[in-house]
Structure formats: C-alpha cells, structure tokens
Amino acid sequence: MCPVTDPARILVIDDEESIRDSMGLVLRKEGYRVRSTGSGQEGLNLFGSEAFQVVFVDIKLPGTSGLDVLSRIKEADPEMPVIIITGYASIESAVEAMKRGAFDYMTKPFTPEEVRVITRKALETRRLLFENISLRRELEAKTEFELVVGKSRAIAQVLDVVRRVSPTESTILIAGESGTGKELIAREIHRHSLRRNAPFVVVDCGALVETLFESELFGHVKGSFTGAHETKHGRFEVAEGGTIFFDEISNIGLNIQAKLLRAIQEREVNRIGSSKPIKVDVRILAATNEDLADAVKKGKFREDLFYRLSVVPIRLPPLRERKEDISLLVDHFLQKYNKRAKRNITGVSSRALKALKEYDWPGNIRELENTIERAVVLSQHDGIELEDLMYHGIAGGATALGSLSGYSKTLEDMEKEYIKAVLQAQFGNKTRAAEILGIDRKTLWAKIKKYKT
C-alpha cells in the first residue's frame, strides 16, 4: 500500500489552442492534472485561485505579456517553477525570462518527450527545494536522532505498536512525560513508514510565539502583514508527501486549533493574505505531556481536534516504570559522550549504578542523559563513581554521606568548584557549560560574577 498523493497540478498559458491541446494530452497521460488558458490575465486569475506545482507560459500573449505573467507569478510564489514557451525568433526574450527567474524554456516546435522531461525536472527540483528547507530547519533546531534503547516489557509494548502503525496512514497521538522520548518515537514511526524518503517536519508548539503560529504553519504571502517582506512556505507545504509532527500540541490556542482542525480535515491550507487553497499531502503525528482528555473537559482543547489526533494513541512510560533499561541507557550515553568529550570512561561502579537505579528520574531519559554527560565531563577516574553523581543530587542520602565523611566544604564552595570544572572541561564555552549545568546563560553569567570564576 502506498500513501495517497495528489497528482501534480500544471497550468498551461498559451494563446495557440493546438499547443494547449497537445500539451494537455501529453501531461494528462502522465497522470498530471492540467488547466489551460489562452489569456495571460486569465492565467493569473487561475494561479491566484488554485494551487499549481508547475506553470508553462508562452512568451507572446495578447494583452498581458508572458514576461509580465512570469514576474507576477514569481512575486507571488518565488519557488514556483515557470517554464517559458518561445519561438526561435524570440530567443532573446527567453534569455530575459531566465534572468527574471524562469525555471527553463522550450522552443517551438517541441516534442512530447521534451514536455515530459522538462516537467519531471521541474517537479523534482521543487521537491528537493522543500526537502532542503526541511533539512535546514532540522539542523537549525539541532534535532539529533538516536535509536530507541531498551529491552523492558514496557518499551517492548510501545515498539510493538510502533511497528504495526508505522506503515499505515493513521494519525497518532504520543503521550508521555517530558523527557520520555516522544519525538524519538515519532521519528521511528516516520522512518518505518512508506513516507520515509519524504520530509519529517517538527513543529515545536511550546516554542513558537502565538502571534506567529499561523504564519509558521500555513505560510504567508508577501506584504500580508508588517514584516512579511517575502512569500513564506508554511510547515505543511514543506512537509509535502512526508510527516508533520506537532510536539507539545496542548500549547496551541483555541483559535489555531480550529484552523489546524480544518487543515487536517480538508487536507488543504491557506497562506495568510491569500484566498488560494493549497492542497497538502502529509501524515499527522502529535505529542503531549498533558492529559488532553482532561484539557477537553476544561475547555482548553477542542474535542473534535482531540479525536482527530488520537486515532491511534501511544503512551510512553516514564523511566521509573522501566528501570531495567537504565543499564542499557547508561552504556549508550557513555559511548556517545566518551566520543564527544574525547574521554575513555570504561563504565559505572556498582554503587553508582545502584544510585542511578534508585533515583526516580522526574526528567526521565533526558535527565539521565544530562547526568551521564556531566559525569563523563567531570570524572577524574577511568569509571564513573558515586561521587561523580553528587552534583546532580543522585548521590544524596546515607550512601553518599558515607562516601563523603569528613567533607567540610560549604554548598557554595561545591557549586563554585563544579561550575569551574565544567567551564574548564568545555574550554570556556559558556553556552555549552550552561547546557551541561542545566541553567541558562544569564544564570551562569551571574554565578561566574558571584564566584569570580
């Protein structure tokens, strides 16, 4: 079974009826949907009211010229591939069209194969463009993919569901506490889906400003509001053919919820400032660390959107419910941060591992990962000992007190030494040190000033 993908829509603007008919015949045989007109102005009207992936424009048109049509289309949608149709006598105009942003040109007379080849080339270029936008956004977000680690019954049950739902087109709601790996599971679903070669686009609903949310999701046209200096493609468009993942979806307001529901139901979006609907073919995944059913009861989340999203619900267990996986996770993170910090920590002592397993991990896997990273950076031994965990609070209690008998330094002294050690290990990189310490740069600067570190 393959995901349902709408056929590409192509607009042909040429005043010769024979050209329109022959191109329409060739393109429809290829499975494309074709609209055609002999008027430049009517072509612009069609472009403004419908969504197209490729446009063919004759250089010589009655009334509005082909060059004017090209310029107005590129202004509305800079990434739209526009192919100029020209005669040999108008080759100079074709060159001018290329300067104005035309994708390519065809000279009359042309063969059906030329039409097929140039159309495929334009569609592939457009696909790669959106894929590159998606990859760039992923890199900017510094999203790092890690394989799911664990053999516990709890995680095995989750992965069994993932294995069964990944090849389907079902919408999935992943619930779990912060740090349990909800985005990781979403990536696994995409990686094992029939859309795996298309973009995976993340929408962090907790990080986006409410006033910009609609623009981020659906895009906007140039001049649609103050600061809209150019046309922007929304996340739905960028995810075309692939998967869009809404992380912490409970953070979006009711107004955006209504527009998101419409986009999911209709499989189309409207850029801000445009009445032209754009068809989108995406799979929807969402995640939440809140009880959405309870949010529905409180009127904070739309009931109809909740049911649209939770066709297949997946609950990720917190780390305290899968403690048998801690040893595997520790080994995994040791390998990762040994490589990153250029260390050779061989393992974790039995006392340290016991402390790690007894801790409740309110921050779940993300907290465990941060703890191991800090221990690798700060350890003065070949292995991680109980005292290497004390800065995190895990080594507290009788066990830790026994190992620190006679320790007379104040809490401030210990904090000062810890901050200094982390800064030295990160060669003075305050951004990285703040991440390891679990504080923001502003707080770190205040502590450096306080301790004169």
Check whether 136 has a pLDDT greater than 70. no
Any domain includes 2: no
Q: Which of 298, 317, 336 is the last residue of a domain?
A: 317
Per-residue model confidence as pLDDT tens digits over 204-229: 888 777 778 888 888 888 877 777 77
Query: Confidence class of residue 323 from pLDDT cuts 50, 70 and 90?
Result: very high
What residues does 384 pair with on adjacent strands?
A: 348
Whether residues 105 and 17 fall in one domain: yes
Q: What are phi and psi of 267, to 5 degrees?
A: 55, 40
- CATH assignment at residue 17: 3.40.50.2300
Rounded Cα–Cα distance for residues 407 and 98 (Å): 75
Whether residues 160 and 286 fall in one domain: yes
**pLDDT reported for residue 411:** 59
What residues does 277 pair with on adjacent strands?
A: 270
**pLDDT reported for residue 359:** 86
Check whether 426 has a pLDDT greater than 80. no
Contact 67, 92 (CB under 8 A): no
Rounded Cα–Cα distance for residues 241 and 194 (Å): 10
Rounded Cα–Cα distance for residues 305 and 394 (Å): 41
Contact 388, 375 (CB under 8 A): yes
Whether residues 349 and 200 fall in one domain: no
Determine the 3-state secondary structure of 275 from DSSP: coil
CB atoms within 10 A of CB 58: 24
Query: Confidence class of residue 439 from pLDDT cuts 50, 70 and 90?
Result: confident
Q: Indicate the pTM of the whole model.
A: 0.63
- CATH assignment at residue 199: 3.40.50.300
**pLDDT reported for residue 249:** 95
Q: Average pLDDT in the 328-348 region?
A: 90
Whether residues 204 and 224 fall in one domain: yes
Using a pLDDT cut of 70, give the percent of the chain over it.
89
282 closest CA partner among 364, 169, 380: 169
Any domain includes 136: no
Beta strands in 316-427 (DSSP E): 347-348, 383-384
Q: Average pLDDT in the 400-411 region?
A: 45
**pLDDT reported for residue 390:** 67
Lowest mean pLDDT among 11-20, 135-144, 223-232: 135-144
Q: Are strands 277-279 and 268-270 parallel, antiparallel or unpaired?
A: antiparallel
Rounded Cα–Cα distance for residues 387 and 398 (Å): 13
Whether residues 39 and 164 fall in one domain: no
Any domain includes 137: no
Query: Confidence class of residue 193 from pLDDT cuts 50, 70 and 90?
Result: very high
**pLDDT reported for residue 450:** 80
Specify the residue for token string 């991680």: 384
Residue 312 belongs to what H/E stretch? strand 312-315
Which segment, 2-16, 293-307, 391-405, 439-453, is predicted with the most confidence on average?
293-307
Any domain includes 139: no
Check whether 432 has a pLDDT greater than 90. no
* Count of domains forming the chain: 3
Whether residues 231 and 361 fall in one domain: no
Q: Which of 274, 293, 317 is the last residue of a domain?
A: 317
Q: Which of 283, 317, 351 is the last residue of a domain?
A: 317
**pLDDT reported for residue 55:** 96
Check whether 273 has a pLDDT greater than 90. no
Whether residues 244 and 286 fall in one domain: yes
Whether residues 288 and 333 fall in one domain: no
Any domain includes 1: no
Whether residues 162 and 263 fall in one domain: yes
AA identity, residue 431: T
Per-residue model confidence as pLDDT tens digits over 91-127: 677 778 888 899 999 988 899 999 999 999 999 988 8
Whether residues 331 and 302 fall in one domain: no
Whether residues 201 and 305 fall in one domain: yes
CA distances from 114 to 10, 118, 121 (A): 15, 6, 11
Check whether 274 has a pLDDT greater than 90. no
Average pLDDT for the chain: 84
Whether residues 126 and 223 fall in one domain: no
**pLDDT reported for residue 201:** 94
Per-residue model confidence as pLDDT tens digits over 37-67: 999 999 999 998 888 999 999 988 988 889 9
**pLDDT reported for residue 403:** 40
Q: Average pLDDT in the 268-296 region?
A: 91
Any domain includes 444: yes
Any domain includes 143: no
Any domain includes 146: no
Q: Average pLDDT in the 400-421 region?
A: 58
Enclosing domain of residue 169:
153-317
Check whether 89 has a pLDDT greater than 80. no
